């Protein structure tokens, strides 16, 4: 049978028919001829629309109990043919292959069959072969073919059809969704066949085995493309704990534009300072806690010079990260054979943050909010001085990247001390004050940042006694006024940001 190849064609092969009628009506209204198979063909015919059978196009019937229906060059040629390539169009004309401009697929319900406790044989039969092939082919050729890969997309597709035919932007967007569906579908199948306990729906990327996990008795691996983030210039392979610290360090340093050095231990900053010269930033960061710096991770946002490298070399540390190193600095730092030296590339972190827990995965938006001067609302009669505002923002940035409950004390763009991971905010403050005193810091004129509101005025009372003059916090407690009243009575300034920064 010779088919009319001048009109655009839409191939429809779906398992579920829910919502399909309106989509078919939209395609017909836009002058598409319909190609279909089996139950889908019967459904469309019952709507009163003419349908060309795929079997008539290919010259082959559905075989092997329906396992092979659309797997044929006349189908895939029509989907993959490039309309702008004369050689493709000539071959299609020669072999009477029509241009298939729309493909609508709804895959066999594999995961639903597994969840329903289906037999192994039934589950295997629910592995869609033709459908997944149609999806991938149409998505690959999105410049010329529109793939609608799930009944969940029917309404969006109908909206597109109401304005005419899909744009290139439309087709590319649907293609991206199609490859996601393909990826998740394949992942569910491999999870079942590998007898995994859960059907993970997160694509993890390439596997990088690690020496071990958090502890030597635990296996570990990193899934992703580390080379997109770092170039490793020297040292041993990155460990699980190195990567945790590196992630925390990179997230923290990205908050600062001024020349800044940070020292981290167990994912928390134990030293951080911003200065005009890198060497001064290093010395003041180290001064905050030279004890915790031992075995830590160093990171800076400017090139490491020889003078700074020589000072860094005087202490033991696991890892250093910077955008670049002078030749002399690199020579100094490479004197320790196991010391890990990384160049941080200009990369964009994922927008979503994941954590595995219980029998699943927890996902949330990455905390991309950085408190700025525009976010500050002065809640006290006394306004903070300009230098205090700068310190408040500085402290807030550190606070955002410190384990809750946390209090950060800062002065002159230097981390003085922090209380990290405490079960009460009062304990976090007391820990920070004790630490500051142990390292001989004068807290007079310092500022205090808190990751969450103060439910009582006790923290501002303790801070005032220690010398703190200004406070930054999100606010939001029903007893905010108690802290505000104390500050007003004791010549302290306090600003609210309106944004909590819990980090667990």
List, by residue number, the catalytic residues. 140, 266
Contact 263, 297 (CB under 8 A): yes
Tokens of 60: 């082959």
The DSSP string of 452-487 is S--SSTHHHHHHHHHT--EEEE----TTHHHHHHHH
Residue 267 backbone zone (phi > 0: left; psi -120 to 50: alpha; other: beta)? left
Inter-residue contact 47 to 24 (CB < 8 Å): yes
β-bridge partners, 261? 273, 300
> For residue 142, what are its two tokens?
């999105």
Burial per residue of 325-353, b for 16 or more beta-carbon CB atoms within 10 angstroms, e otherwise: beeebbebbbeeeebbbbebeeeeeeeee
The Cα angle at residue 318 between residues 317 and 323, in degrees rounded to 5: 95
Of 317, 327, 328, 321, the closest CA to residue 342 belongs to 321
Phi and psi torsions of 231, nearest 5°? -110, 125
Contacts of 198 (CB under 8 A, 6+ apart): 191, 359, 360
Q: How many helices (H) and strands (E) does the chain have?
A: 18, 21
Going by the DSSP 8-state scheme, the letter that residue 147 receives in this structure is E
Question: Measuring CA to CA, which residue among 238, 257, 230 is closest to residue 323?
Answer: 230
Radius of gyration of the chain (CA): 31
**Helical pair 73-80 and 130-140, crossing angle rounded to 10 deg:** 30
Strands 407-410 and 377-378: unpaired
**DSSP annotation string for 277-345:** SHHHHHHHHHHH-TTTTTTEEEEESSPBPHHHHHHHTTS-EEEEEES-B-HHHHHHHTTSTT-EEEEEP
**What's 414's DSSP letter?**
B
Q: Which residue has the tokens 């729309």?
A: 102
Distance CA 44, CA 19 (A): 12
Phi and psi angles of residue 456, each rounded to the nearest 5 degrees, phi first: -140, 165
Q: How many other C-beta atoms can be found within 10 angstroms of the C-beta atom of residue 21? A: 15
Gap between the Cα atoms of 183 and 324, Å rounded: 37
- Reading the block at residue 177, the tokens are 């969704």
Residues 6+ apart with CB under 8 A from 346: none
């Amino acid at each position: 049978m010779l088919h009319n190849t001048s009109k655009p064609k839409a191939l429809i092969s779906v398992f579920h028919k829910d919502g399909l009628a309106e989509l078919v009506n939209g395609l017909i209204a836009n002058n598409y001829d319909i190609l279909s198979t089996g139950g889908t063909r019967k459904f469309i015919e019952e709507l009163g629309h003419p349908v060309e059978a795929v079997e008539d196009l290919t010259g082959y019937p559905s075989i092997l109990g329906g396992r092979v229906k659309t797997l044929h060059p006349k189908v895939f040629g029509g989907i993959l043919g490039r309309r702008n390539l004369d050689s493709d169009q000539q071959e299609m004309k020669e072999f009477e292959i029509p241009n298939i401009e729309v493909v609508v697929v709804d895959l066999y319900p594999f995961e639903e069959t597994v969840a329903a406790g289906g037999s192994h044989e039934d589950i295997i039969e629910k592995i869609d072969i033709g459908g997944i092939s149609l999806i991938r082919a149409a998505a690959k050729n999105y410049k010329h073919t529109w793939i609608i890969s799930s009944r969940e997309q029917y309404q969006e597709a109908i909206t597109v059809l109401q304005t005419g035919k899909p744009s290139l932007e439309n087709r590319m967007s649907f293609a991206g969704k199609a490859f996601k569906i393909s990826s998740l579908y394949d992942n569910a199948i491999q999870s079942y066949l590998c007898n995994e306990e859960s059907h993970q729906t997160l694509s993890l990327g390439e596997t990088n085995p690690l020496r071990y996990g958090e502890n030597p008795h635990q296996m570990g691996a990193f899934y992703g493309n580390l080379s997109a983030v770092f170039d490793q210039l020297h040292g041993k392979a990155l460990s699980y704990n190195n990567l945790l610290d590196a992630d925390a360090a990179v997230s923290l340093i990205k908050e600062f534009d001024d020349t800044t050095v940070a020292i981290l231990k167990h994912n928390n900053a134990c030293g951080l300072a911003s200065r005009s010269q890198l060497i001064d930033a290093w010395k003041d960061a180290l001064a905050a806690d030279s004890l915790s710096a031992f075995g830590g991770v160093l990171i800076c946002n400017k090139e490491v010079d020889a003078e700074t490298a020589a000072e860094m070399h005087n202490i033991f540390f696991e890892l250093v990260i910077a955008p670049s190193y002078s030749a002399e600095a690199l020579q100094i730092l490479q004197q320790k054979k196991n010391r890990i030296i990384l160049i941080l590339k200009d990369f964009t972190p994922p927008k979503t943050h994941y954590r595995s827990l219980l029998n699943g995965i927890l996902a949330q938006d990455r905390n991309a909010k950085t408190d700025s001067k525009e976010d500050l609302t002065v809640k006290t009669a006394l306004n903070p001085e300009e230098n205090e505002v700068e310190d408040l923002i500085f402290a807030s940035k550190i606070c955002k990247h410190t384990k809750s409950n946390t209090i950060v004390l800062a002065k002159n763009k230097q981390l003085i001390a922090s209380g990290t991971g405490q079960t009460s905010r009062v304990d976090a403050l007391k820990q920070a004050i004790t630490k500051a005193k142990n390292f001989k810091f004068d807290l007079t004129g310092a500022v205090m940042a808190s990751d969450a509101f103060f439910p009582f005025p006790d923290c501002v009372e303790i801070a005032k006694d220690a010398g703190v003059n200004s406070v930054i916090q999100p606010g939001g407690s029903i007893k905010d006024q108690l802290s505000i009243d104390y500050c007003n009575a004791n010549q302290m300034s306090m600003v609210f940001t309106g944004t909590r920064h819990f980090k667990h």
